[in-house]
Amino acid sequence: MQFKGKRRDFGLGPVHDVSLADARCMATELRKMVRGGKDPVQERGLRRASSPTFEMVARRCYEAMKGGWKDRRNVSWISSFENHVFGEIGTKRIETIDSVQVLKVLEPIWLAKPDTARRLLQRIGAVLDYAHIKGMIPNEISLRSVTRGLPRQNRQVEHRAAMPYADVPAFLQKLARQDRSIGRDALQLTILTAVRSNETRYATWEEFDLAAATWAIPAGRMKMKQPHVVPLSPPALVLLKRLRAEHEALDGQISAGRMLFTQSGKKPISDTTMLKAIRDMKIETITVHGFRSSFADWAAECTRFPKEIAEKALAHRVSNAVEAAYRRTDFFEKRRALMAKWAEYLMKNV
């Protein structure tokens, strides 16, 4: 190629990395530079000098997105890159990253750490999309073909250990006889309402209307990011009114954001606090989350409530998109009846 009478030679990349079609496109781009009076050597040098590395772009992407995440995801997102990605491609220029290099990142952990590897594939794709919309790379880069160069993962779904529903009433009554603790109270409320443990742990008094017997959990605290109103059964109300009276005696005026279950007054109890209440009863195999399965099994086998009522009580998302679009009701009154039946079942021998 000639530029102002001088010969310019260019390497377009290794033949096994650059297809004939890509080479033709790059050659066309170089000719356009020459016709525009630009020195291709100088232009490409300037581009390389100003082009950020993959790690630089990943960190910019992280800073741009992390505002809407919970603290745990903030930490895990960037640490997964530090542990598995930056060492392989962190110093490479963003425009040089392709599916072949992503494959090299994933190969060592694809079978050893399948969940981490799948998340990393999605996160690397997010970084490349970010680079594209910010004008750092001209074209979108698809990573759909990456998994075709990797062995099939044997995904095994591990269900949380659950107590048979027939054993839950005796367990709850035994729990009530244990020494009072924050973990015990939180676990009782979790079982009575069939909510997730995090929904209990982060509960604040402003979410509760004890007169209306409702617990309104905002969308930001729900797994599916949809607000969820829990009808409170009589036993749940008894527990909450006792807690309320204790907090009023301790704090006087209770602030709206005051947490129900906290050791310090500022931070919620940990994940293990409720689990400890179970382990203190010499039960080693059951998890807190498993009581949601106990509730679901009881509703299916011991009641005539339709499945969708129990699913809504558990705040599960409707899997069928068309059905979800048309089913706008939250079955609140039917859920109130269902939760009352559940509480009656749990307290049947009290």
Q: Same structural domain for residues 239 and 280?
A: yes
Angle between helices 332-346 and 290-302 (to 10 degrees): 100
Cβ neighbours around 201 below 10 Å, total: 22
Closest CA to 95 of 141, 150, 147: 141
Whether 8 contacts 14, CB under 8 Å: no
Domain span holding position 127? 54-149
Cβ neighbours around 315 below 10 Å, total: 21
Residue 31 maps to a domain: yes
Alpha-helical runs (H) found in 280-331: 290-302, 307-313, 321-326
Q: Same structural domain for residues 189 and 316?
A: yes
Last residue of a domain, one of 17, 34, 50: 50
**How high is the pLDDT of residue 26?**
62
Q: Same structural domain for residues 334 and 218?
A: yes
Residue 255 maps to a domain: yes
Q: Same structural domain for residues 58 and 46?
A: no
Residue 80 maps to a domain: yes
Whether 172 contacts 346, CB under 8 Å: yes
Residue 250 maps to a domain: yes
Q: Same structural domain for residues 216 and 321?
A: yes
CATH number of residue 281's parent domain: 1.10.443.10
Closest CA to 116 of 145, 80, 147, 90: 80
- Give the 3-state secondary structure of residue 29: helix
**Dihedral angle, C-alpha 122, 124, 126, 130, nearest 10 °:** -170
Q: Same structural domain for residues 10 and 62?
A: no
Residue 155 maps to a domain: no
Mean pLDDT by 10 residues, the chain (350 residues): 58 56 65 69 52 90 80 71 92 91 93 89 93 88 87 64 91 92 96 96 95 95 89 97 92 85 86 92 91 94 92 79 51 95 87
CATH number of residue 111's parent domain: 1.10.150.130
Closest CA to 189 of 227, 228, 242: 242
Whether 36 contacts 22, CB under 8 Å: no
Q: Same structural domain for residues 121 and 40?
A: no
* DSSP class per residue in 45-86: HHHHHHPPBHHHHHHHHHHHHGGGS-HHHHHHHHHHHHHHTH
Whether 3 contacts 34, CB under 8 Å: yes
Classify strands 214-217 and 228-231 as parallel, antiparallel or unpaired: antiparallel
Q: Same structural domain for residues 208 and 83?
A: no
Whether 59 contacts 130, CB under 8 Å: no
Question: Domain total for the chain?
Answer: 3
pTM of the model: 0.58
Amino acid in the structure at residue 248: E
Residue 95 maps to a domain: yes
Cα dihedral across residues 196, 201, 202, 208: positive or negative: positive
Residue 251 maps to a domain: yes
Separation between Cα atoms, residue 288 and residue 188, nearest integer Å: 10
Q: Same structural domain for residues 46 and 58?
A: no
| Three-point CA angle 239, 245, 248, nearest 5° | 140
The alpha carbon of residue 227 and the mean position of all alpha carbons in its chain are separated, in whole angstroms, by 16
Q: Same structural domain for residues 216 and 319?
A: yes
Q: Which residue has the tokens 């990253």?
A: 97
Residue 114 maps to a domain: yes
Tokens of 335: 């859920």
Q: Same structural domain for residues 277 and 128?
A: no
* Contact partners, residue 13, CB within 8 Å, separation at least 6: 23
Q: Same structural domain for residues 173 and 87?
A: no
